[in-house]
Copies of this chain bind each other. A is one copy, B any other.
Amino acid sequence: MHIGRSYQLKEFLVWTRRIIYWVLVIGAAPTLLYQGLGLKWLAIPWTVVALLGTATAFIVGFKNTQTYNRTWEARQIWGSILNSSRTWGTMSRDFLRKNPQKTQELVYRHFAWLTALRYQMREPRAWENSSNRSNEEYKKFYTIPERESSLETELAKYIPAEELTYILSTKNRAVHLMSLQSKTLGDLFEQKELDSYQFVEMERIVKDFYDHQGKSERIKNFPYPRQFATINGFFIKLFCFLLPFGLLKEFDKLNESVEGIMKGNMVWMVIPFSVLISWVYTSLEVVGESTENPFEGSANDVPISQMSRTIEIDLREMLGETDLPPALQPKNNIIL
Could you tell me which A residues sit within 8 Å of B by CB distance?
A: 1-7, 9, 12, 38, 40-41, 43-55, 57-59, 61-62, 64-66, 68, 71, 75-76, 79-80, 82-84, 86-87, 89-91, 93-95, 97, 125-127, 170-172, 175-176, 178-179, 182-183, 185-186, 190, 195-198, 200-201, 203, 206-207, 210-211, 213-215, 217-218, 222-223, 225-231, 233-235, 238, 247, 249-254, 257-260, 262, 266, 269, 273, 276-277, 280-281, 283-284, 287, 290-291, 300, 302, 313-314, 317-318, 324, 327, 333
Indicate how many identical chains form the complex.
5
- A62 x B64 contact (CB < 8 A): yes
Q: Which residues of B contact A290 (CB under 8 A)?
A: 227
- A58 x B57 contact (CB < 8 A): yes
- A6 x B230 contact (CB < 8 A): yes
* Chain A contact residues, majority secondary structure: helix
* Cα-based distance from A66 to B225 in the complex (angstroms): 14
* Cα-based distance from A184 to B78 in the complex (angstroms): 28
Q: List 22 A-B contacts (CB under 8 A).
A: A2-B226, A4-B226, A5-B226, A7-B227, A41-B258, A45-B247, A54-B57, A58-B61, A68-B228, A83-B210, A89-B179, A93-B182, A94-B185, A94-B203, A97-B186, A171-B313, A171-B324, A175-B314, A231-B280, A231-B284, A231-B287, A235-B284
